[in-house]
Amino acid sequence: MKILNKTSTVNFILISTVLVFSLFILFYDLKDFNDHLILLNIRLPRLISAISVATILSLSGLVLQALFKNDLAEPSILGISSGGTLGAVIGIFLLSVTHLNAPYFVIPLFSILFSFLSIYLIIKIAGKNPYSAIIILLGVAINSFNGALITLISYLSDNSNLRNVIFWGMGSFTNTNIYTSTLLGVVALGFWILYIKRPKVLNALRLNDENLFYAGFNLKKIQTFIIITVTVAVGISVAFCGLVSFVGLIAPHIARLLVGHNHKDSVTTTPLVAIALILFTDILCKNLLYPIELPTSVITSFIGAPYFIHLIFKSRKHKIDY
C-alpha cells in the first residue's frame, strides 16, 4: 500500500508538471487567444510530437534494459536511433536522386528497416551472451558506422537535402504538423498500452534464462516481441523528429529511483518523467538563445552523456558487469 501511495503521489506531481509545461508551450507569448492558427498548426503538433517521442524513447529504454539485463541499454546507445536516422537520410537521398514523389510513409519505412538492421546485427554478433558489456560496445560500433554513412551522404547531398540530413541527425519537433503528430500520438499510445498490459513479463526478465523457462515464459517470443515493437516505434519517431539522444537512458533510471523496480509502476512513471524532461528541454531549446532555436539532442546530450559516464563508474564501483 505504501508503494502504491508513493507511486500515485509521484505520478500526480509529474502529471501536474507536464500540464504546467504544456500550457507554457501552448500559450507563452501568444498575443491574443484568437490566434488559433499558430496554436493549432504549430504549437499543438509540436507539443503532441514531443510527448509522443518522449513516451516512445523512454519505454523503449525501459524494456530494452529489462530484456538485456543491462542498465545502459537504450535506443540511441544500442544504435537503433542512429539506424533509424540513417534510414531516413538514405530515403531522402534516394528520393532526391531519383526525383520520385513518394508518399509520406516511405521515409518511416526506411527508418524502421535500418533500426531493425542495427539491433539485429548487435543480437546476432552478441550470440548467446547478450547480457554482457559486449552489447554496449557493439552499440558504439554500430553508432560509429551509421554516423560515418550519414556523414558520407551529407557530403554527397545538395544544399536542400543537407539541411534535412542535419535536422535528422540533431533532432527537433519544429517540422511536425497535425498529421505527423497525430500518427506519432497513435503509435506512442499503442506502444504504451502494449507494455502496460505486460508488467509481469518485464518483471520476469530479471530471472535467468533457465528460471524464465521454468516459470512458463518463452524468451524467444518475448525477445522478438520487444525488438519488433521497439524498432517500429523508434523508427517512426526518428523518421518524423530525428535523433533525440539519451532520453531512454535517463527516464527509466529516474523512474526506478522514484517508484522502485516493479514494472507495474515504472511503465507509467517512466513516460511521465520523460515527457516532463522533453518538454522542459523543448522550452530551453526555444528560449535559451532566442531567436536561435537549439536542436533537441544538444540539450539531452548535455544531460545524458555525463549521466551515462556516471552509470559506468557506478557499475565499476559495485563490480557489476554491464
pLDDT digits (tens, 9 = 90+) for 111-136: 999 999 998 888 888 776 666 678 88
Q: What average pLDDT score do residues 58-68 get?
A: 93
Note the pLDDT of residue 151: 86
The answer to whether the beta carbons of residues 294 and 284 sit under 8 Å apart is: yes
- Give 259 or 311, the one with higher predicted confidence: 259
Name the β-bridge partners of 289: 292
Domain 2-7+69-315, CATH 3.40.50.2000 — does that match? no
- What pLDDT is stored for residue 129 in this prediction? 66
Q: Residues of the chain with pLDDT > 90: what percent?
A: 36
- What is the per-residue DSSP string for 145-170? HHHHHHHHHHHHS-HHHHHHHHHHHH
Whether residue 78 contacts residue 119, with contact meaning beta carbons closer than 8 Å, is answered with yes
**Side-chain half-sphere of 280: how many Cα atoms within 13 Å?**
12
CA nearest to 308, candidates 261, 247, 260: 247
| Better-scored residue on pLDDT, 245 or 29 | 245
Q: What average pLDDT score do residues 256-263 get?
A: 91
Nearest 5°: the CA angle 301, 306, 307 is 95
The yes-or-no verdict on residue 216 having pLDDT over 60 is yes
What confidence category does residue 320 fall into, taking pLDDT thresholds of 50, 70 and 90?
very low
pLDDT at 318 over 80: no
Cβ pair 47, 177 in contact under 8 A:
no
The whole-number pLDDT of residue 316 equals 60
Looking at residue 154, its pLDDT comes to 81
pLDDT tops 60 at residue 258:
yes
The pair phi, psi for residue 198, each rounded to 5°, is -125, 40
Inter-residue contact 272 to 11 (CB < 8 Å): yes
Of 86, 217, 181, whose CA–CA distance to 143 is shortest? 86
Q: How far apart are the first and last CA of the chain?
A: 33
Alpha helices in 176-262 (DSSP H): 178-196, 199-204, 209-214, 219-241, 247-259
Q: What is the mean pLDDT of residues 152-178?
A: 76
CB 283 within 8 A of CB 25: yes
All cell numbers assigned to 190: 499503442
> What pLDDT does 322 receive?
40
- In the predicted structure, residue 1 carries a pLDDT above the cut 50: no
pLDDT in the model for residue 272: 96
| Choice between 31 and 107, residue whose per-residue pLDDT is larger | 107
Mean per-residue pLDDT of the chain: 85
207: its cell numbers: 530471472
Q: Band of the pLDDT at 321, cuts 50, 70, 90?
A: very low
What tens digit of pLDDT does each residue of 8-37 get? 999 999 999 999 999 998 888 776 655 777
Mean pLDDT value across residues 79-102: 82
Per-residue pLDDT at 308 exceeds 80: no
- Per-residue pLDDT at 57: 95
For the chain, the structural domain boundaries read 2-7+69-315
Which of the given ranges, 201-215, 251-265, 283-297, has the highest pLDDT on average? 251-265
